């Protein structure tokens, strides 16, 4: 005999899910300064090193500005919150000055995180550009030569990186 489908709902489960969501939403803004903590720059002596490939493999850096943008957005939100606190009347928010100072302090931490993170990401992008230049051997992305009959032949940049384990397929015209 088949039993009908039943849906059991418990307020205890719902409260647990809501409380975990609330904890995440409360803790999210307190994780400020992502550019200070989570963005990695290449080592300071990478300009003088001749083996950028090893540095890239052993000490990867961050070339995405997502965390920098998060810091910028949070800094703007905290600054706006501080301005709102300073414009409120004392009867509406009795400790408005303390709240405004705290908002501006969090905004300053996020601004510092965005500035430092942006510097680290820009340095990482320069490192990656130098690494790509070293990999291709200071050649252009495609080398073009002009023959006597003015026909143009081109070598793809991937072939300039070295031998490939794949068999070469001749180009048919």
Contact 143, 65 (CB under 8 A): no
**Residue-range domain boundaries for the chain:** 50-154
Structure tokens at 85: 């606190």
**pLDDT number for residue 45:** 85
- Tens digit of each residue's pLDDT (9 = 90 or more) over 6-31: 555 454 555 556 677 677 666 665 66
Quote the pTM value. Answer: 0.59
Instruction: Write down the H helix ranges in the chain.
Output: 11-27, 34-37, 52-58, 66-87, 96-135
Our measurement of the distance from residue 40's CA atom to the centroid of its chain's CA atoms, rounded to an integer in Å, reads: 10
């Amino acid at each position: 005999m088949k039993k009908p489908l039943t849906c059991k709902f418990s307020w205890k489960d719902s409260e647990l899910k809501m409380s975990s969501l609330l904890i995440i939403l409360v803790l999210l803004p307190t994780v400020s300064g992502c550019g200070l903590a989570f963005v990695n720059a290449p080592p300071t002596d990478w300009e003088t090193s001749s083996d950028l490939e090893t540095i890239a493999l052993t000490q990867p850096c961050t070339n995405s500005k997502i965390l920098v943008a998060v810091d910028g957005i949070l800094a703007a939100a905290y600054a706006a919150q501080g301005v709102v606190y300073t414009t409120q009347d004392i009867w509406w928010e009795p400790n408005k000055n303390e709240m405004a100072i705290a908002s501006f302090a969090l905004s300053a931490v996020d601004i510092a995180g965005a500035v430092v993170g942006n510097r680290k990401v820009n340095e990482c992008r320069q490192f990656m550009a130098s690494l790509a230049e070293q990999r291709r051997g200071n050649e252009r992305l495609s080398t073009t030569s002009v023959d006597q009959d003015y026909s143009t032949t081109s070598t793809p940049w991937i072939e300039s990186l070295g031998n490939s384990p794949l068999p070469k397929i001749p180009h048919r015209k």
